Amino acid sequence: MTGATVLTGLDRNKVHIGFKHIFGISLHDYCFDRRMQRARQLLVESSMSIALIAGKAGFSEPTNFTAAFPKQFGLLPSDARRSPQKVF
């Protein structure tokens, strides 16, 4: 049983369908967005390496994070670190 199943008493598909119906975004996309928002915050507010931030955002390979970041925010993680005002 997954956490959502235990908490709601619903099966996994019902949780995902209900979430999308209520919030207009898939649960997966919502979680991904939250992880990327946190990564963006860490890039701007910390001196952690991009590889470490990638790991904290759930990416097993920093290159996957580096590829996903511009799709989400329109610039590379290194550019976001240098010019934080462009990210917000």
pLDDT above 90 for 10: no
pLDDT at position 37 is 96
pTM: predicted TM-score of the whole model, two decimal places = 0.79
pLDDT above 60 for 4: no
The span from the CA of 63 to the CA of 68, in Å, is 9
66: CB partners within 8 A, 6+ apart: 50, 54, 76, 77
Q: What are 69's two structure tokens?
A: 């970041």
Closest CA to 77 of 35, 49, 32: 49
Domains located in the chain, CATH noted: 27-86 (1.10.10.60)
pLDDT at position 73 is 94
The span from the CA of 57 to the CA of 55, in Å, is 5
pLDDT bracket for residue 3 (50, 70, 90)? low
Direct distance between the N- and C-terminal alpha carbons of the chain, in angstroms, rounded to an integer = 38
pLDDT in tens, 31-88: 999 999 999 999 999 999 999 999 999 999 999 999 999 999 999 999 998 876 655 5
pLDDT in tens, 17-42: 988 999 999 999 999 999 999 999 99
